[in-house]
Structures are given as C-alpha cells and as structure tokens.
Chains A and B, each alone.
Chain A
Amino acid sequence: MTIKGSLLGREVVPFMFALAALALSALLIDTLLHLLNAVWIGRYLGIPGTLLILGSFGYSMRKRKLIRFGQPVRLLRWHERLAWLGSLFVLVHAGIHFNAILGWLAVWAMLINVGSGLTGKYLLERSRRRLEQTRQRMRQQGLTGAELEERMYWDSMTFDAVKKWRSAHFPITLAFAVLALAHIVAVFLFWGWK
C-alpha cells in the first residue's frame, strides 16, 4: 500500500498534473481571450510559443555536444519549463480555431511530444531515485563488487528504459518539427503581414 501510495503520489500525480495544468491553462486563456474579444492575441501567440520551444532545444544541443556551454541538469530544467510554456502558447494559438489540417497535425504532434517529454522526465527521475537507493542499501549491506554488479543490473535496465525512451522521443520531436515548420512556412507564404 505504501509503495503504491508512493508511486501514485511521487510519479503518476505530478505527471498527470503537468498535463492537466497545460490543458486547463490553455482553456482558461482561450476563454479569457474570447470573453475580452481579444482573439487576435491568440492568433499571434504561435510566434512566442515557437520561440520558447526553440529555446528549449538548448538542452538537446548540449546533450548532443552541438554546444559546449551550460550545465546539462540546469539546461534540462529549462528544457522542461520552456517547452511546457511554449506548448501552452501554441495550444492557445491553436484554440483560435484554424481549419488547416497541417496546423492540426502539428498541434497533435506537439501534444504527443509533450506527453513523451513528461514520460521521459518521470522515467528518468524514477530511475535515478531507485538507483541511488539501491546503491546506498547495498553499500550498507557490505556486498562484494560482483554481487553489487549483479543486483545493480536490474536497476541499470531501468536506465536502459530511459535510453530507449530517448530514442522514441527524438522521432516524435522530428515529426513535430517538420509539421510545425510546414505550417510556419505556409503561414509566411500566404499570410498578409501588416
């Protein structure tokens, strides 16, 4: 019961909360814009949303050693925050009821991407927590190197799950990026910027 409670409280609830907060915030802002007759603001929120999401790629670039500056852990936190906020802006932007299929595909790809990102975040945190706990416990038990290695295997498998997740997160991001780019190009091509 304790383990289940812990799992629910520490992992499932924050995951669901981040997703629900995104949806509720988007609905709230969308409602406000409609009530204040300021829908045009939402139409332009796609721009800061995209810039924030682009800014969140700083972590991805650091991870792939495309850039050398910044602490990865701190960049990861900014990656989560900027991507969440950028997604919120884009969701509100999408709430201004455009009809184009390409735009909707980009929004759905973004939502899947956010879901994937949150999944990765909690997979990673869970793995790190478990690994640290196991390591501490085994050290206290005075296990030999071989025994410790064997027991640690199952935990490292969890880290493998994170790695596998990362290999899934990248194609999802790629799909989102291509669809979003196509949508942006179409907007630039046809929209009258005045």
Chain B
Amino acid sequence: MKRRWVLAVIAANLLALVSLAFVYPHLMVGPGALVRGHAELATDCFACHAPLRGAASERCIKCHLLPDIGVRTTKGAPLEKPVAKASFHQGLIEQDCMACHSDHQAPKLTQRSRKPFSHSLLGPAVRERCETCHSAPTDNKHRDLSVSCGQCHKPERWKPATFDHALLDKAALERCEGCHKTPADSLHRQITGGCKRCHSQEGWKPATFDHAKLFALDRDHDAKCVTCHTGGDYGRYTCYGCHEHRPDNVRAKHLEEGIHDFENCVECHRSASEEPGKKGSRERRKRD
C-alpha cells in the first residue's frame, strides 16, 4: 500500500514535469534562447519546426523573402540602413538557411563547434565579387592592386596569402618601398639604388650579391660603400677614392710594366693581396 503511494507521488511529479514541457517549451525542451529577432516565437516551436521533420528553410523563407533580405523587414518595411552585405543571399547555390544560421543561441562553450559560413554556398557570380560583402583593404600593400582578391587569398581565410609580384604594374613594381620597409642596418643605409640589384622578387633571401666575387673587402678595404661607389651608383666604382691609389701613381706603375689598359682595376686585381699572373687569379677570373 505504502509502495503504491510512493509510486503515485512519483508519477504525479513526473506528470507535472512533463506538463511543464508544454507550458514552457522554450525552457524545458529548447536548446537555447532564440535570437532577439525571434524572441516573440519563443513558445511557438512549430512556427519554425515541422513535427518530426525539424526546422525547414521553406518556413524561414515564408517570412524572410529572399529578395527582401538586407533590404526590407519581414513586415515589408524598408530597412533604415540596407545591409549591402546581406545581398549575397540572393546568389546562394541552395536555400539551406540552417547551413549557417541557428536561431537557438548556443552556450559559449559550443560556439566554436558551430558551422561557419562557407563560401562554397555562394553562386559563382557572387563568389567572384568579394567586394559585395567585404570592403577592399586600403593599406599600402593593396592600394596599387587591380587584380581580384582570389589571386592571392583563398575563400576560406584571409591568411595565409600567396602574393606574386607579377600582379603589380610596372610603376608599383619599381617602388619596393611602397609596400616594404627599407632596411635600416648599416649596410642598407648606405645604399640608395633599387633593391632588385641584389634581391629577387621571390624572396628577400637569398640575396645574390657577393662582393668578394668582384673584389674582396679585406681589412685594408674596410671602407664605406661611397668611397668606391660614388654617387650611389653601385654599377660603377673607382679605386681612386682613397689616398693610396692615386691616378698618376697607378698610371706610372702600369706603364712601367707595359700595361696600357688599366682603367678597370678589378679585371686583374680581385683582392688587395692578389696580383695578376699569380697562381689562381686567372682561373678565378675565368670562373667568374
């Protein structure tokens, strides 16, 4: 008898709990609060859900007319500020609202697991026109570009990007400093010529410049670049920039040896210690 009473009390409690699911479905059954715009539908689950079939896009579109998205409210009134970004909805490859939207706000812990927007849902025409939704960057890197974003960036994410200098026009290509900072180290500070004399467009390193191939800068030649390369022109040099090599002195010495063509010093002298005719110097010249 007592057991029957206990069971009756438990059954009554369970019945009350289950009844609450009908009175407060948003609390008892709903997986989370509805978004602000749908707050008035909180207790009307079947406004969006079809019994046994879940929420269907067809029901969303009944209120959210596709041409009106971003332009008008569901009541047909024009939006104060039309949302240009929302216009891509008209160019989606299929009408699957739940692919991106969940009206029940999930707890913070699960937000990471929610499906993000996928660009693959966009029709080809919209997918090509990134500026439909995204504003073009105005920084130095992007200012001179006239090619589409897809040339460097992938639809999934902005970074990493694969930039190719060939996309730049000739004028922008010549102005490396338009995008890159000029190196401030002691070597580069002295150089005023274009970067591409030493560096390629594929990467800053490796740089092709090796001074020792042309002339070894030993301790007697530990001088500033402008001592030899006057006027910032690194395609030319002079050995008469220091007191040691005076034109009349050099001329006299070479004529004495019967050498009349001595204007291009490094043709024979690849280092301070290397004299023409010495072992290795001829081979080295050939190699270079």
Is the CB of B147 closer than 8 A to any CB of chain A? no
Which chain A residue lies CB-closest to B13?
A: A175
- How does the 8 Å CB contact mask read for A80-105 relative to B, with 1 for contact and 0 for none? 00000000000000001111111001
A178 to B14, CA, bound (A): 7
Is the CB of B6 closer than 8 A to any CB of chain A? yes
Q: Which residue in A34, A175, A189 is a CB contact (below 8 Å) of B49? A: A189
Is the CB of B236 closer than 8 A to any CB of chain A? no
Contact B28 A101 (CB under 8 A): yes
A188 to B51, CA, bound (A): 8
Helix, strand, loop or mixed for chain A's interface? helix
A167 to B51, CA, bound (A): 38
Residues of chain B at interface, number, CB under 8 A: 32
CB distance from A102 to the nearest CB of B (A): 5
- How does the 8 Å CB contact mask read for A159-194 relative to B, with 1 for contact and 0 for none? 000000001000100110011001000101111111
A39 to B110, CA, bound (A): 9
Contact A175 B10 (CB under 8 A): yes
A105 to B11, CA, bound (A): 15
Contact B106 A102 (CB under 8 A): no
A192 to B54, CA, bound (A): 4
Query: Interface segment, B29-37, B123-131, B246-254, B267-275?
Result: B29-37
Is the CB of B242 closer than 8 A to any CB of chain A? no
A191 to B3, CA, bound (A): 38
Is the CB of A37 closer than 8 A to any CB of chain B? yes
Contact A99 B113 (CB under 8 A): no
A99 to B113, CA, bound (A): 15
CB distance from B229 to the nearest CB of A (A): 57
Q: Which residue in B6, B33, B56, B110 is a CB contact (below 8 Å) of A192? A: B56
For A174, list chain B residues within 8 Å (CB). Answer: 7, 10-11, 14
For B107, list chain A residues within 8 Å (CB). Answer: 97, 99
- Among B11, B17, B29, chain A packs the most CB atoms within 10 A around the CB of B29
Q: Which residue in A102, A105, A171, A189 is a CB contact (below 8 Å) of B6? A: A171
For B106, list chain A residues within 8 Å (CB). Answer: 97
For A34, list chain B residues within 8 Å (CB). Answer: 113
A192 to B30, CA, bound (A): 14
Q: Which residue in B18, B30, B31, B33 is a CB contact (below 8 Å) of A178? A: B18
Contact B10 A97 (CB under 8 A): no
CB distance from B32 to the nearest CB of A (A): 5
Which chain B residue lies CB-closest to A38?
A: B113
Known: A34-B113, A182-B18, A191-B54; 10 extra A-B contacts, CB below 8 A, are A96-B110, A100-B28, A100-B29, A102-B28, A105-B17, A174-B11, A186-B28, A189-B49, A192-B53, A192-B98
Report A's interface with B, CB cutoff 8 A: 34, 37, 39-40, 96-102, 105, 167, 171, 174-175, 178-179, 182, 186, 188-194
The 6 closest A-B pairs by CB, nearest first: A192-B54, A39-B113, A186-B29, A178-B14, A99-B32, A102-B28
A-B contact pairs, 27 of them (CB 8 A): A97-B106, A99-B30, A99-B33, A99-B104, A100-B27, A100-B29, A167-B3, A175-B10, A175-B14, A178-B14, A179-B14, A179-B17, A182-B17, A182-B21, A186-B21, A186-B28, A186-B29, A188-B52, A189-B49, A189-B51, A189-B52, A190-B29, A190-B49, A190-B54, A190-B55, A192-B54, A192-B55
